[in-house]
Structure 1
Amino acid sequence: MNAFHLDLLQWLAAGPHPTPWVLAIAVGLALGGPWLSTAVIGAAAWRRPGHRAYVLFILAGAGLTAMLCQEIAARINMPRPFILGLVPAYIPHGASAALPSTHASVMFMVAFAFLARPALRAPGIALFAVAAATGWARIHVGVHFPLDIAVGLMFGALMAGLLGAAWWMLELGAQQLAARIPGLAGKRWPTMPRPRA
């Protein structure tokens, strides 16, 4: 960890003398950000039934992203800033490895996946904002370095791209299969509904 990242941590973290109202917001976002994202995802799926299969696919991808992220973090084994005594922690947290941030990886992955679909871009913008705010909050309360969040964002973008490619191949395969089966040509594949705005 070089001097720039340590200076950035000291600037973003609450430190030993936090501003009470800023810390209260950070604690709320650090703990509640994922739940807020879940609410946005649920509302998007409810209001856009033509995209529910895609949303479910992305949620499955979120589970995969979390598992991969935790495996990578365990191998890198970067301690959290409060474990190193650099800043105090203002939320309860274990001593698990921090790089990349699982919260950031999953939340940014879902945000990018939504942004990739024109009909889901409005909730995608909201999801990106919540992910960014949660990332800041988890730095502020002392459980992550800025680098953990930045790498989580990049890993989330990578996973969103891979999942988007996988979804495209599934749609293409379903369309080709439907075209070859008598009686299905020209019909929508039941498990891959065509997106509606």
Structure 2
Amino acid sequence: MPLPRLWLLWALLLSASVLSLGLIAKKLPGFTIGEFSVDQELSRDHNSALTAVAMTLNYVFSPVGGVVIIAAVALYLLVMHKSPINAVAFGGVAAAGWLSSQLFKVLVERQRPNPALLFDPLAPETGSNSFPSGHVALAVGLAWAFFFLARNSRWARLAGVAGIAVPIIVAWSRLYIGVHYPSDVLASLLAASAMVILFAGVWNRYQGRILPRIPLLGRFGPVASPNNQR
């Protein structure tokens, strides 16, 4: 997988930025009050078309939706394309980006926006798991996974454009619904990218030693070297 130089340092710096942003957002009440005004303004201007889009994304990028998408694409690559390395790599990249949100949710424990203060709460949620957004982290993880998969094909440009557009649209939907603050969705972009970089670095270093030893993958054909796949 392609990586920046000093990839471990990049992963650490992005993670530190996410944690710092989360602690600032949690400790400074004025910061959260200012952010909440964005949610309230979006809540004031709901319309049926945008609400339908936002609620559809709410379900597609939910935990259940994430499992279905990742499993379906990985299974397709494994069974239809006989490409075990791509199947494992796709699943690993997408999951790494997605699960990054769970780590920082535990570390920061920021309360979600109060739905009672919104003009039109569409999917009221409460709890201390606001920072960062799992939906956006999933979208970013999938964006990286599809880009890595398509980067040497005619689909690379489309994957790149969609990989930028879809996470931004999902981030907007979380604010539109009123279940996250702007810093929550921004942090997801950074957190998911940090974990994808970390996963890619570990993958590049160790996959050639580990994957050939997994018996299940051998049933779908030989496990090729990293020079032949991805």
Q: Secondary structure at the match of 1:14?
A: helix
Residue equivalent to 2:136: 104
Q: Return the alpha-carbon distance in structure 1 between the equivalents of residues 36 and 110 of structure 2.
A: 14
Q: Return the alpha-carbon distance in structure 1 between the equivalents of residues 108 and 166 of structure 2.
A: 27
Q: Secondary structure at the match of 1:81?
A: coil
- 2:147 aligned residue (115, 137, 152): 115
Give the TM-score, by structure 2 length. Answer: 0.61
State whether residues 87 and 142 of structure 1, in contact with CA within 8 Å, keep that contact through their aligned partners in structure 2: no
Judged with a 3 Å threshold, the aligned counterparts in structure 2 of structure 1 residues 156 and 65 are, in CA distance, closer, same or farther, namely: closer
State whether residues 93 and 145 of structure 2, in contact with CA within 8 Å, keep that contact through their aligned partners in structure 1: no
User: Is 1:26 aligned to residue 51 of structure 2?
Assistant: no
Residue equivalent to 2:176: 140
Where structure 2 has 5 or more consecutive residues not aligned to the other structure, the ranges are 1-24, 26-30, 213-220
Quote the sequence identity (%).
19
Shift of 1:97: 1.3
Q: Secondary structure at the match of 2:39?
A: helix
Q: Return the alpha-carbon distance in structure 2 between the equivalents of residues 108 and 76 of structure 1.
A: 20
Shift of 1:22: 1.7
State whether residues 89 and 142 of structure 1, in contact with CA within 8 Å, keep that contact through their aligned partners in structure 2: yes
Q: Return the alpha-carbon distance in structure 2 between the equivalents of residues 5 and 23 of structure 1.
A: 21
Which residue type is aligned with residue 29 of structure 1? L
State whether residues 112 and 125 of structure 2, in contact with CA within 8 Å, keep that contact through their aligned partners in structure 1: no
Judged with a 3 Å threshold, the aligned counterparts in structure 2 of structure 1 residues 22 and 53 are, in CA distance, closer, same or farther, namely: same
Q: Secondary structure at the match of 2:117?
A: coil
Shift of 1:156: 0.8
Q: Return the alpha-carbon distance in structure 1 between the equivalents of residues 203 and 82 of structure 2.
A: 15
Judged with a 3 Å threshold, the aligned counterparts in structure 2 of structure 1 residues 63 and 79 are, in CA distance, closer, same or farther, namely: same
Q: Return the alpha-carbon distance in structure 1 between the equivalents of residues 57 and 180 of structure 2.
A: 14
State whether residues 97 and 193 of structure 2, in contact with CA within 8 Å, keep that contact through their aligned partners in structure 1: no
Shift of 1:93: 3.6
User: Is 1:195 aligned to residue 226 of structure 2?
Assistant: no
Q: Return the alpha-carbon distance in structure 2 between the equivalents of residues 156 and 48 of structure 1.
A: 28
Residue equivalent to 1:14: 43
User: 1:56-106 CA deviation, whole Å, 9 max, x = no partner?
Assistant: 234245445544422321331211113573554302545341101112122
Residue equivalent to 2:215: none
Judged with a 3 Å threshold, the aligned counterparts in structure 2 of structure 1 residues 173 and 82 are, in CA distance, closer, same or farther, namely: same
Residue equivalent to 2:123: 91
Q: Secondary structure at the match of 1:130?
A: helix
- How many pairs were matched up? 182
- 1:42 aligned residue (73, 85, 104): 73
Shift of 1:151: 0.2
Which residue type is aligned with residue 9 of structure 1? D
Give the TM-score, by structure 1 length. Answer: 0.70
State whether residues 136 and 167 of structure 2, in contact with CA within 8 Å, keep that contact through their aligned partners in structure 1: yes
Residue equivalent to 1:181: none
